Copies of this chain bind each other. A is one copy, B any other.
Amino acid sequence: MNEPAFLRACRGESVGHVPVWFMRQAGRSLPEYRALRGAGSILDAIGDPSLAAEITMQPVRRYGVDAAILFSDIVVPLHAIGFGVDVVPGRGPVVARPFKGLADLERLRDLAESDITHVTDAVDLVIKELSASDTPLIGFAGAPFTVASYLVEGAPTRDFAVIKSLMHADPALFDQLLDRLVSITVTFLRAQVAHGARALQLFDSWAGALTRDEYRRFALEATQRVLDGVADLKVPTILFGVGTGELLDLMASAGSSVMGIDWHVDIDEGRRRVGDRPVQGNLDPARCLGGVELGVEAAREVLARAGSGAGHIFNLGHGVLPSTDPVVLEAVVRTVHDEGRAGVR
């Protein structure tokens, strides 16, 4: 039991308490974050290693979560190679010249470690701060399909109409796009581990926009190749997407150590679909907006469903909502640490 609970749970090993962290725990819901950030672009903040490191640490200090996750964004590697992407406050990632065809492949050059020293410097700083408590840092990246959707759509979308037209009209071109993104993503993830990240989460945030046939054809293999590309590093990997209930078995076949389950799917049912591997999730973040009592009640429902049958990393089933009162998340962490013990195998 020398390794932290989070890492042991990721490997399906026995733990002293159910580990917990929150997707988007570093960010807008924390007053100390808002005080620090001011009004600049999130990419500017990510570009400042000491600021990014401090933001990464804030939720660890406040909540006592079992893992830190690097303050970053899934468009960071694209920004780093100069593809021309920005994150517009209140809107999301916007691409100046969206990916349209063969000529745009050239704009997706390989990522070099020297492109992301701001990221690895931030990792270095975080690792130094975390060493006292032995809290693991999670590195992350977007999965190729999700990153491709930003490049092709050019702006946040609900329909994914542009990317769907492109991938069905020219699947060979789409394969080449994914190919470029696999390479960039593997480099980005490996750099984070080289500097001390002890687990990796791959966000296929928009995979839920795909049917099963589309996921099989346009997302699965690229995701597999990213996971294969970091397998020798021996760090646990977590794969997560929103609205992926129909895809969980396919996503699980990509081979991550842990499957993230979004809140739409009951976590016991989710575990069944992913073949009994460790699961992460899946408290509905909206249920953290009605005060401590309702938040704790909702957390208990997840703990009860997760049961004691296998590894469970407690998390939300989507990112922390900006209007969340941190006091509710503090209470959720206490509840999981105190009452989740019964669920340990």
Spell out A's residues near B (CB within 8 Å). 159-162, 164-165, 168-169, 208, 211-213, 243, 245-246, 263-266, 269, 284-287, 289-291, 294, 297-298, 301, 321, 323
Contacts and interface: CB of A to CB of B under 8 A. Distances in A.
B212 A266 contact: yes
A263 B321 contact: no
B263 A211 contact: yes
Given A211-B263, A246-B269, 10 more contacts: A159-B286, A159-B289, A160-B286, A165-B290, A165-B291, A165-B294, A168-B298, A211-B266, A212-B266, A213-B266
Contact of A265 (B159, B246, B269, B294): B246
A213 B264 CA distance: 10
Stoichiometry, as copies per complex, reads 2
9 contacts: A160-B286, A161-B323, A164-B287, A164-B289, A165-B287, A165-B289, A168-B297, A211-B284, A246-B269
Nearest to A282: B211
A212 B301 CA distance: 12
Nearest to A322: B159
Contacts of A165: 286-287, 289-291, 294
B169 A290 contact: yes
Given A165-B289, A246-B245, A289-B165, A159 B211 contact: no
A286 B243 CA distance: 17
Given A169-B290, A286-B164, A159 B246 contact: no
Contact of A290 (B168, B263, B301): B168
Which 5 pairs show the lowest CB-CB distances between chains A and B?
A: A165-B290, A161-B286, A161-B289, A164-B286, A159-B286
Contacts of A291: 165, 169
Given A245-B245, A323-B161, A211 B289 contact: no
Contacts of A266: 211-213, 246
A274 to B, nearest CB: 15
Nearest to A287: B164
B264 A211 contact: yes
Contacts of A297: 168
Contacts of A285: 159
Contacts of A211: 263-264, 266, 284
Nearest to A297: B168
A284 B243 contact: no
A287 B168 contact: yes
